[in-house]
Amino acid sequence: MDLLWRWMEQDLALARRAPFTTRVYLSSARAFAAFHGRHPGDMGQAEVRAWVDHLRGIPMSPQRFRQHLSGLAFLYRKTLGRPEVVSFFAWPAIPRKLPAVLDLKEVAALLEAVPHPTYRMLFRTMVATGLRIREACRLRTCDLDPARGLIRTVGKGGAERQVALPAKLLKALRRHCRETRPVAPWLFTGRLGRPLDPDHARRVFRAACRASGLARRATPHALRHTYATFLLEAGADLRVIQALLGHASIRSTEHYLRVSTRLIAKAPNPLDQMPG
């Protein structure tokens, strides 16, 4: 069965799925095979239905349930070429939560609580550009275009985009390179000269949240949400924000309209137009 998992991993790489997605899909497919004790190629819709019924009896979030289904869907549709086996799948809706947005005082306190200068600069770059954690960890010096004030990055699915490179951030990055001497071509490297690991960066962020006394639960993605909400409240067009964030759909960008307290407070009210 090892050959099947190698094939699936190769197919996921060809589909440009993120490393986290690859791990989750492979884990879900292996759990299905272990549940039946058989090779997935020898099973069909009846076995898949039995697995889905089993999953329904396990307490889990709708998102985790979707991940299990997505892993099997990829296995049968792509790697095994038998889409009919999973044709009955119905995807449970995931309630959309409001993104965590920090105010600038919270961001400043959080950055101050990061003890290592490289990680402090990493998070500072994220809040100034809206980059995802993986995008920021793999920034190279050649991705910076000081003449045009732009940063080139590669996001989900291998899609390239450009984000703004503010002069203040460029100055800070140059100082960072002089002081920490990252190993080329990367901007942020660890002790072994490799790009920072996103998972370790998340742990550093959590520790800084605790050290700064941040009352709300937040992840590094909150810095991206903060950047987007700041742009929205400053009057940036939604289409511009969509391009900067690399959203495939404008619906993802419109989500920030729900958390902009400044815009909500300024919304016109019918009572204002009524007498008395």
The answer to whether 221 touches 132, Cβ cutoff 8 Å, is yes
The token duo for 29 is 């497919």
Q: Is 224 a catalytic residue?
A: yes
The catalytic residue among 152, 156, 161, 202 is 156
User: Which residues share a beta bridge with 186?
Assistant: 140
Q: Is 178 a catalytic residue?
A: no
The answer to whether 110 touches 214, Cβ cutoff 8 Å, is yes
Q: Is 54 a catalytic residue?
A: no
The token duo for 149 is 């004030």
Residue 104 φ then ψ, to 5°: -65, -30
Count of beta carbons in the 10 Å neighbourhood of residue 195: 19
Write out the DSSP string of 11-59: HHHHTT--HHHHHHHHHHHHHHHHHHTS-GGG--HHHHHHHHHHHHTS-
Q: Is 78 a catalytic residue?
A: no
Largest CA distance in the chain: 76
Q: Is 36 a catalytic residue?
A: no
Q: Is 247 a catalytic residue?
A: yes
Describe the chain by its helix, strand, coil percentages, rounded to 5.
60, 5, 35
Interacting residues of 208 by C-beta distance below 8 A, sequence separation 6+: 110, 111, 113, 114, 123
The catalytic residue among 132, 134, 176, 225 is 132
The catalytic residue among 176, 224, 225, 227 is 224
Active site residues: 132, 156, 221, 224, 247, 256
